[in-house]
Amino acid sequence: MPLLKDRRIKNFINQLFKDIKEHPVPFIISLLISLMLFYYIANIGLQSLLVVGDLQYKINSPDLFIINKKNVKIKVTLRGKTEDLKLVNEDIIKTYINIDAKKPGDYTYKVVVDSSYLPDNIRVVKIEPSSVKITLDKLFKKRLKIEPNIIGKCEKGYSVSSLTFTKSPYAIVEGPYSILSSLETVKTSEISVDGLNFPLILPIKLDNDQLKIISPADNQIIIDIRRLSIYKTISDIPILLSNKNSKFSYTLSINKFNADILVTEDIQDKISSSDLIFVIDCTYFQSPGVYTLKIIPKAIPDINILSTKPEYIQLTISFIEPGN
């Protein structure tokens, strides 16, 4: 009986190959249909879920820097039963590339899904893109001068009078060697003063997101915004004497002086010599003599006196002769 059974199997196989050879098309169609039915039966009750997340970069060498690192969105297609897919927390699906390079250059890395965050019986069936190209450079540090990047116009009548820093106008900056090696200064990101009429104190942010300030920590930029000042020279400003003593005669080396001033735009055409008179109070001088005095004009709001010409004058005081 076993021999007869083996012979029947052998004859069946020989007949099968003969039929395939003589009628290949029906066989191929039957095979494809069978495979499709098998796939369909195997996947009954399975569903797909598309998850989109940000690519993470895991770099192993602390001496390397990723040039122009991009925010890459990765599409991950998951496959599993409906009840299992409902357990998937899309916010914790992590995708990354493991950067194990030891020196600068161009590299392509396969995108990996961290399956430890996936429920059991969930498979990753597709990752788009499946790989990412990156360029690595040497990490470098350099001391650079910070250059504020001010844009916009202050409110009418105001201007930026000064730019200073709370700690230092220089900073140790870290970034790729290809960028830092040729720099002596580094710009801040744009700072708008458009329409402002008050000072600003801001943290320093650089205009190149590949560069980072290492020290000094917590350095800030101070943008002093004040009323717009216009330079003017006022001539023939009078020098006056007050509270004179009748026992003395008073003689000035000059009776008028000039002054260089800064004034705000709104009063520049209203300033005259009478606004800056220099008054000497004679009660401070109780004896004859020659006194050298610094010219200090009367101060009024919105006028900044830069200098006077001359800077000093002489006051000569003498007794009045009897009978004069």
Q: What is the pLDDT of residues 180-205, one digit of tens each?
A: 999 999 999 999 999 999 999 999 99
- How remote is the C-alpha of 125 from its chain's centroid? 40
| DSSP letter assigned to residue 12 | H
| Domain range annotation of the chain | 46-129, 139-227, 229-319
User: Do residues 43 and 60 make contact, with C-beta atoms less than 8 angstroms apart?
Assistant: no
* 46-129 topology per CATH: RNA Polymerase Alpha Subunit; Chain A, domain 2 (2.170.120)
Asked whether residue 92 carries a pLDDT value surpassing 80, the answer given is: no
Give the pLDDT of residue 320. 86
Structure token pair of residue 146: 């910070």
Nearest to 202 by CA among 223, 225, 171, 224: 223
Tell me the pLDDT tens digit for each residue of 26-74: 667 766 766 665 555 455 557 888 889 899 999 999 999 999 888 999 9
Give the pLDDT of residue 79. 87
* 229-319 topology per CATH: RNA Polymerase Alpha Subunit; Chain A, domain 2 (2.170.120)
What is the distance between the alpha carbons of residues 115 and 117, in angstroms, rounded to a whole number?
5
Query: 35: helix, coil or strand?
Result: helix
CATH of domain 139-227: 2.170.120.40
User: Do residues 63 and 101 make contact, with C-beta atoms less than 8 angstroms apart?
Assistant: no
Beta carbons within 8 Å of 49's beta carbon, 6+ residues apart: 77, 78, 79, 80, 85, 88
